[in-house]
Amino acid sequence: MATTRKTITLSKQQDAWVKSRIESGDYTNDSEYFRDLIRKDQEQKLNALKQAIQEGLDSGISDRTMRDAWNEAERRHRARNG
């Protein structure tokens, strides 16, 4: 697997937290800790997508037209994003 080197800036409190996780034996170094956080975030997003797909499947067949569904999606988008 190819890797990319990144530089990040942490507050003293954040750095202390990462160091405490390493000292506790949960991780062997900073990189391992951050990669685990990224994997967990990716998994959470994937699970949310799977749940949304399942909810759609479970909701059954709609009697709305494609235009009705599209208008509803646009309305929700505007309500969330101003």
Burial of 21 (0-12, 13-18, 19+ CB in 10 A): middle
Residue 77 has a pLDDT of 94
Residue 82 has a pLDDT of 77
Residue 47 has a pLDDT of 97
- Mean of the pLDDT values across residues 59-79? 93
**Per-residue pLDDT reduced to its tens digit, 49-60:** 999 999 999 999
Residue 62 has a pLDDT of 87
Cβ count near 36 (within 10 Å): 13
Residue that is written with structure tokens 């991780």 in the block: 27
**Per-residue pLDDT reduced to its tens digit, 32-53:** 999 999 999 999 999 999 999 9
Q: How far apart are CA 9 and CA 78, in angstroms?
A: 35
